[in-house]
Structure 1
Amino acid sequence: MISALAWVRKGAAAEKPRRYEVSEEEYAQLKRTAAAEIEDAKEEIRERAKEDDAILNDPALKEFDLEHYDDDEYEDVVEGPDGDEASDDGNGGPLARDGPHIFSNIKGLSFHGVDEEDPYLTRQEGEEEEDEEEAAEEQVLPTDNLLLVAKTEDDISNIEVCVFEGDSDNMFVHHDFMLPAFPLAVEWLDFRVGRRAGQEGGGNYVAVGTFEPRIEIWDLDTLDATYPDVVLGSTDKKALRKARGKRRKEFHTDAVMGLSWNRNVRNLLASSSADKTAKLWDLAAATCVQSYDHHTDKVQAVQWHPTEASVMLTGGFDRRVAALDSRAPAAVSWWSVDADVESVMWDIHSPSHFYVATESGSVRYVDIRNATDGAGVVYTLAAHDEAVSAMDLHPAVRGMLVTGSADETVKVWDVRDGKPSLVLSRNPDVGSVFAARFCPDEPMLLAVGGSNGESRVWDMSTNASIRSIFGDDSVKANPVREKPMVRVSNSDGEDDDDDVPEAVIAELRGGTADPAEASDDDDEGDDVAMASDSE
């Protein structure tokens, strides 16, 4: 399953990523962390043992002898060479416990003395060339975008850092980071933290919110990292168990559901949580500087205003959206919606307005200047039959809104002049759509991810319907064939053709397919407006 996506703009990533090296301080920290986790595990075992003892000592269960129900009928015996129980090495001597002679019966095993060269440990001829080839494969070009994919498969969660090569329409996994729990939100940061805090220049980091009540920040320019550069929140598991779900000012006590980095005040990160709070973090100090508890249920989403540095939006499962100045949290403007909030988003082309998507499948467009509860709704868009689980607004093309849903479709809307209309609907073959993000550099590139664990990059500029609605006269006069969606390459460097229309494949391979057959089947409702009057 892919639960979240984020793009990294061109040129932000280091051309030659570093290998992670554990310092003495980090090694000591890892030892302390491991020791604490071992002690927590022992405590859990002791607690379970008490519960088991209470069950075993129940008089009603004594006759079943549950303490020995899974014992074998006999103990395992180490046999000697003659089949007898072995108390020696088979030659009358004690069993060897150390030294190379313990492997004396293994044929073909060689041992090298201290002063001898082991060919498996010393650099051989040609290995330097392999190192250079590996370095070339790890290189990230200034023309490459990175796509950050929050993925869970077989209960293992990680962040895949994918390189997207726009010139060749190729995408592959460059490296990844293991996560402690299912990821719910990712946010790219251009701010140096951790070991490189305070250094000149921009950073290249990702903040990750998971079911764990902490925020991990990873350096995207580091390979083979085993531990995040910064952890925001408490790492005391015992204290977190006691405070689970309760509101605390210093840290979250439940899952982190939303993240938003302040691009105007770059050391600030906002988060929202299932503990019914939103929090403000100082990245430079790695501490929580403000906690907001204006919602009465889980806070699903948070986003900073694009121009007003201290203003933010929050939306929750209490079916309300709040706009507030982070410096004056008591003064909150409220809007009620028809269902649990899935996401909130400022209109970057008209910053006095915002969008809110809900579990009922609707999207509302609200004028914040009318702050009376229930007022200010410009229109309500009946976008999907199921929850609107993904939403994004094109950063450059005014009025292009994209929504994604659990109904497995992505829809493109023309919302210019407050008169929304459907441009096209498409099934990107990713299952339930949980994430959709426009690329910050390439025009009309949309990344989509969903429940089947697949991600796609769609070049929307080649779609006939989008070109006819959003293109200028020169674009409309030059029709092009639509490109298939790009997916992560397999190990052989080639894509599967499962999700590519046969007509498109035939055309790419030199066939004579009818271009009409390659058009989107769901464009029939392009001119259908699905909006109600202001409520």
Structure 2
Amino acid sequence: MSVITCLKWVPKGYARSEPLLEEVTMNDIEDIKAAEGEDLNMDTYDQEEAIPVFSNVEYEPQLENIEDEEEEDNKINPDDAIIITGNQKGDFSEVHVFIYVENSGALYVHHDFFLTAYPLALEWLPYNPQTPNEAGNCLAVGSFMPEIELWNLDIIDVLEPIGRLGGVKREKVSEGSSKKRKRTKTYTKGSHHDAVMALDIHPTRKNILASGSADCKVKVWDIIEHECKITLSHHEGKVQSIEWNPTEEKILVSGGLDGSAFVVGVDSPDSSKQIRVPSEIEAVTWNPFNPLEFSLSTEDGFLYTYDARNLGKPLYEVKAHNSQCTIAYSPGVPNLIGTASVDKTVKIWHGEGLRGIAERDMKVDSLFCLEFYKDSPFTLATGGTGGVLAIWDTEENQNVCNSFSRAK
């Protein structure tokens, strides 16, 4: 069974037009094995014998251009849209980098790479933490592991992340050691102690990343320094969703499986405000055009919108789906909200009053994740069980066109 567990759009202009190919050496493989606690004795590996012999194979002249053709296939055009998905296929955890050609509707996997654990959250990073003074194209990944992996999306056939935030300390096995030692789990300083379920990059300070975890903690990280700067412990249940306020740089909203959502200033966590709803919270998100409001979706299919200044009762409330759903605002169309549900449908709502506008069966089984595309704000991507990524240009729907206008 294949599942898309999470996804993220990449804004145009950040991906390299010609991604790099990872050059893997035997030393790289030895380091990876050692980091995983395996002793790879290179003395027993005969590199001469490992090289196959093709002396009796007739050479095909047409193969001369195969490398050039591969390089051409790897190119990314300026108008290509890029979508990143976290995939679980049986025992294999992967990230797929999709190219979506808007004019033709073509959608295909450009490249992919393996993860160490089941992916739960993705967050795109606009620079490479290894070269923070330059623009980049990287990805933070949260998974069942108590760490955040940082990957360079501009490298094909990559084997290892460029960095990790938190996690269990990795110890190399001493050379020549054949005994299995009992290992105790030792966490790095500031690490989460359970799965990382939610990630969000700061809207203006791009080196700051917030994370939510099954250990009921919210953490704020400095990606460049690879350090946890703040730990918040106000949740009593697993933290499922988190998002920075788009204009108030120290304010976060977070939602948990205990049905609680918190609005908190990271510099004054004791002054946090709390609401509680009757079901598990699946997603929380700020209104990008009215940052005093945030909305949330729940495991029993409800949508709520609150005024952050007065959490006594919701501004709006609606039964959106019959079961679990997630929610996303369009970043470029005021009041355009989308929801995706395990009932296999995507619905469009107007933010004022949470009025239903349109609905579509995406024909790709239960849906777990949803996001609008910043560079084409009527377009959304969704995915779930079945492992199929689906795109909907909602502007094709007449009701949507009549109900919304683009932000000026």
TM, length-normalised to structure 1:
0.67
**Matched ranges for 1:101-500 at <5 A:** 118=55, 125-193=61-129, 196-198=130-132, 200-236=133-169, 242=185, 250-371=190-311, 375-388=312-325, 390-416=326-352, 419-470=353-404
In 2, Cα distance between equivalents of 1:383 and 1:376: 18
State the 4+ residue runs in structure 1 displaced beyond 6 angstroms.
Answer: 237-241
> Share of identical aligned residues, percent?
32
**Counterpart of 2:19 in structure 1: which amino acid?**
P
8 A Cα contact 1:314 1:321, kept in partner: yes
In 1, Cα distance between equivalents of 2:57 and 2:285: 56
2:14 maps to: 12
* Structure 1 pair 189–391 and aligned structure 2 pair: CA distance change class (3 A): same
8 A Cα contact 1:234 1:240, kept in partner: no
In 1, Cα distance between equivalents of 2:316 and 2:39: 55
Superimposed CA distance per residue, residues 169-189 of structure 1 (whole angstroms, 9 cap, x where no aligned partner): 111100001012211111111
**What is the alpha-carbon root mean square deviation over aligned residues?**
2.8
1 or 2, which has the higher strand percentage?
2
**Counterpart of 1:15 in structure 2: which amino acid?**
S
8 A Cα contact 2:145 2:167, kept in partner: no
SS of corresponding position for 1:461:
helix
In 1, Cα distance between equivalents of 2:142 and 2:276: 26
In 1, Cα distance between equivalents of 2:230 and 2:99: 36
* Structure 1 pair 205–299 and aligned structure 2 pair: CA distance change class (3 A): same
In 2, Cα distance between equivalents of 1:133 and 1:27: 28
Q: CA deviation at 1:25?
A: 7.9
Q: CA deviation at 1:409?
A: 1.4
**Counterpart of 1:174 in structure 2: which amino acid?**
H
SS of corresponding position for 1:32:
helix
SS of corresponding position for 1:251:
coil
**Counterpart of 2:259 in structure 1: which amino acid?**
R
Q: CA deviation at 1:468?
A: 2.6
SS of corresponding position for 2:236:
coil
Q: CA deviation at 1:376?
A: 4.5
Q: CA deviation at 1:202?
A: 1.2
In 2, Cα distance between equivalents of 1:329 and 1:26: 43
Q: Which runs of 5+ in 1 are unaligned?
A: 40-97, 103-109, 113-117, 473-535
8 A Cα contact 2:148 2:167, kept in partner: no
In 2, Cα distance between equivalents of 1:360 and 1:224: 41
In 2, Cα distance between equivalents of 1:283 and 1:310: 17
Largest Rg, 1 or 2: 1
Superimposed CA distance per residue, residues 209-243 of structure 1 (whole angstroms, 9 cap, x where no aligned partner): 11111111110000000111111112337999657
* Structure 1 pair 470–181 and aligned structure 2 pair: CA distance change class (3 A): same
TM, length-normalised to structure 2:
0.87
In 1, Cα distance between equivalents of 2:293 and 2:26: 50
Superimposed CA distance per residue, residues 505-532 of structure 1 (whole angstroms, 9 cap, x where no aligned partner): xxxxxxxxxxxxxxxxxxxxxxxxxxxx
8 A Cα contact 1:7 1:437, kept in partner: yes
Q: How many residues align?
A: 386
8 A Cα contact 1:234 1:251, kept in partner: yes
SS of corresponding position for 1:132:
helix
Q: CA deviation at 1:464?
A: 2.1
1 or 2, which has the higher helix percentage?
1
